Amino acid sequence: MIRAGVIGIGNMGSNHCENIFSGKVPGMELACVCDVNPERIRWAKGKFGESVKYFDNSKELFASSDLMDLLIIATPHYDHPELAIEGFKNNLHVLTEKPAGVYTKQVRQMNEAADKSGKRFFIMYNQRTNCVYRKIRDLVKSGELGELKRMVWIITNWYRPQSYHDSSAWRSTWEGEGGGVLLNQDPHQLDLWQWIVGMPKRIRAFASFGKYYNIEVEDDVTAYAEYENGMTATFITSTGEAPGTNRLEISGTMGKIVTEQDTIKFYRNRVDERTFNKTFQRGFGFPEVWECNVPTDGGNKQHIGILENIVNVLEKGEEPIADGREGILGLSISNAIHLSAWTDKWVEPGSIDEDLFYNILQDKIKNSTFKKNVTEQKTYDVRGTH
């Protein structure tokens, strides 16, 4: 049995604990939990009983690291790298919730610690288990779409009322979350962006901060990206639209894929557009197109799927669905969008000026005059909810 320890038992952390404790992840057992909030510890003791060990601070948890094989981190964004590094130092495998961190500089240090430790590192990119995105990635990677031309993703169905932002002092602040929709709601989509079509060469982005709410972080973003081969990508996201949209469209020389409401349509060119362009001689015309409804296997195990995969990686040598080191890729896109919006310049995700990003972020934290009414305490349990 893989013995798991969970630090941060708020929304996601408690969900992981319940899934493991109830036997939904064969080969994994819940060994210990940690949270700074006494109420969450009382909840856990009532739920899991004496078979699990309880800690109210990370120092004591790591002092008892021999109780576990896998550390699951479900704490605030800023804490992910620090706790992961400490986990590796204590000879533990590590699974971190998304995002990998707030800025790539700290995540790079986390990845280096993972490399030195020799332990396995995972990230909870559970959307990679979704049959829709797995199938789209397969169509792209297999060459069915030909050479890629364009990606457009409108992901605006993240609507949140002002009361959501007012629910805690940390929420929707530079100091508490390190960002808004990009750091809170969109990490899965930013990961899927690069997982499906690869990393862009450069990004130009425009963001509004507190456009729809009394907050200081971004709540409306439009990013335009370019690739080495000339492909472009447009990413539009917001928490301030109702009703919102989640539509992904990817175009290539062999047609286009459109997914919306968990369906996939492939508008397939019978002939590659570039070939048609060079050979067609009658002035007006276009390739014959077949409209195909693309089937999937229906599988979508989400968080349990990631946990099952971890067991199989550690026990059977299976390939990881989401290696923790890959967390820096989606975060690089996020940081590039932020930095481009802050500086009004193009930014290359592969070579971000990490010191500049960090310094601007620290200035925003230091100079923040943002105040709001707060209805919750600043603890792991409320900070861990999205």
What would the pLDDT profile of 272-325 be if each residue is shown by its tens digit? 999 999 999 999 999 999 999 999 999 999 999 999 999 999 999 999 999 999
Same-domain check for residues 102 and 215: no
Q: Is the pLDDT of residue 29 over 70?
A: yes
Rg (CA), the chain: 22
Q: Are strands 263-269 and 289-293 parallel, antiparallel or unpaired?
A: antiparallel
Tell whether 122 and 185 lie within a shared domain.
Answer: no
Residues belonging to the chain: 386
- Answer yes or no: is 269 within a domain: yes
* pLDDT at 145 > cutoff 90: yes
Answer yes or no: is pLDDT of 116 > 80.
yes
CB 137 within 8 A of CB 247: no
CA separation for the pair 378, 373 (Å, rounded): 13
Tell me which residue has tokens 């792209």. 140
When divided into structural domains, the chain yields a total of: 2
**Shared domain check, 312 and 181:** no
Q: What is the largest CA-CA distance in the chain?
A: 79
Segment (H or E) for 281: none
- Identify the pLDDT of residue 372: 62
Please check whether residue 272 is in contact with residue 253, taking contact to mean a CB–CB distance below 8 angstroms.
yes
319 burial level (CB within 10 Å; 0-12, 13-18, 19+):
exposed
Assigned domain for 382 exists: no
Could you tell me the CATH number of the domain that includes residue 245? 3.30.360.10
Which CATH number characterizes residue 57's domain? Answer: 3.40.50.720
Task: State the average pLDDT over residues 114-134.
Answer: 98
Residue at 157 is within a domain: yes
For residue 385, the model assigns a pLDDT of 35
pLDDT band at 369 (very low <50, low <70, confident <90, very high): confident
Q: Residues 308, 282: one domain?
A: no
Task: Answer yes or no: do 11 and 153 share one domain.
Answer: no
354 and 214 together in one domain: yes
In whole angstroms, what is the distance from residue 318 CA to residue 310 CA?
8
Bridge partners of 137?
A: none
Rounded to whole angstroms, how far apart are CA atoms 354 and 293? 43
For residues 132 and 182, membership in a common domain is answered with yes
Task: Indicate whether 380 belongs to any domain.
Answer: no
113 and 168 in a single domain? The answer is: no
Residue 163 lies in a domain: yes
Q: What is the pLDDT of residues 319-343, one digit of tens each?
A: 999 999 999 999 999 999 999 999 9
Q: Is 210 exposed, middle or buried (0-12, 13-18, 19+ CB in 10 A)?
A: middle
Per-residue DSSP letters for 285-300? ----EEEEE-------
Yes or no: say if 294 and 264 are a contact pair by the CB < 8 Å rule. Answer: yes
Is residue 381 domain-resident?
Answer: no
Give the H/E segment covering residue 339: helix 327-343
Structure tokens, 355: 């010191």
126 in helix, strand or coil?
Answer: helix
Q: Average the pLDDT over 38-61 and give the result.
A: 97
Is pTM beyond 0.75? Reply is yes
Q: Check whether 135 has a pLDDT greater than 70.
A: yes
The string of pLDDT tens digits covering residues 82-113 is 999 999 999 999 999 999 999 999 999 999 99
pLDDT at 88: 98
State whether 295 and 340 are in the same domain: yes
Give residue 283's domain range.
128-299+330-366
One domain, residues 191 and 232: yes
Rounded to whole angstroms, the Cα distance separating 375 from 148 reads 48
* Helix ranges, the chain (H): 11-21, 38-48, 58-63, 79-89, 104-117, 131-141, 162-165, 181-184, 187-197, 273-279, 302-316, 327-343, 354-366, 380-383
Q: 362: part of which helix (H) or strand (E)?
A: helix 354-366
pLDDT at residue 376 tops 60: no
User: Do 306 and 202 share a structural domain?
Assistant: no
Q: Do 75 and 113 share a domain, yes or no?
A: yes
d(C-alpha 128, C-alpha 111), whole Å: 20
Residue 119 has what pLDDT?
Answer: 98
Token digits for 291?
Answer: 């409209």
Across the range 47-53, mean pLDDT stands at 96
What letters, b where the CB count within 10 A reaches 16 and e where it falls short, cover 54-73? bbeebeebbeebeebbbbbb
On whether residue 386 sits in a domain, the answer given is no
Domain contains 49? yes
